[in-house]
Amino acid sequence: QVQLVESGGGLVQAGDSLRLGCVASGRTFSIYAMGWFRQAPGKERAFVAAINWSGANTYYADSVKGRFTISRDNAKNTVYLQMNSLKPEDAAVYYCASNNVPYGTASYFLSAYGYWGQGTQVTVSS
């Protein structure tokens, strides 16, 4: 059974940084693209960042480009999201997700991901 467990969320002030982590278990982590999504109250879940299986390719939503960095450590079965210069509009529950297809490309489509974590709350005060 595939499990994804996020950590690292919290309450920060605008301009601060946070690093989220997501540990995967239950299948071979290193051959699947991973993604981060977020959902604010009253809004749909939205793409934040994705990374392909090897880590060679990354993609970002325009709203976070230049501030957030996605990375992975395949030896630790972990994907990270480094978030810098946080803004109040970044506040949301952040979810990591694992792609459905081995060696698939990183994707911004929710439907490309078959496994999701439980989410970690990020709150940014102004």
- Tens of pLDDT along 63-83? 999 999 999 999 999 999 999
Report pLDDT for 39: 98
Residue with tokens 């970002």: 60
- Tens of pLDDT along 13-63? 999 999 999 999 999 999 999 999 999 999 999 999 999 999 999 999 999
- Residue 67's CB: how many other CB atoms inside 10 A? 15
CB 88 within 8 A of CB 126: yes
With cut-offs at 50, 70 and 90, classify the pLDDT of residue 104: confident
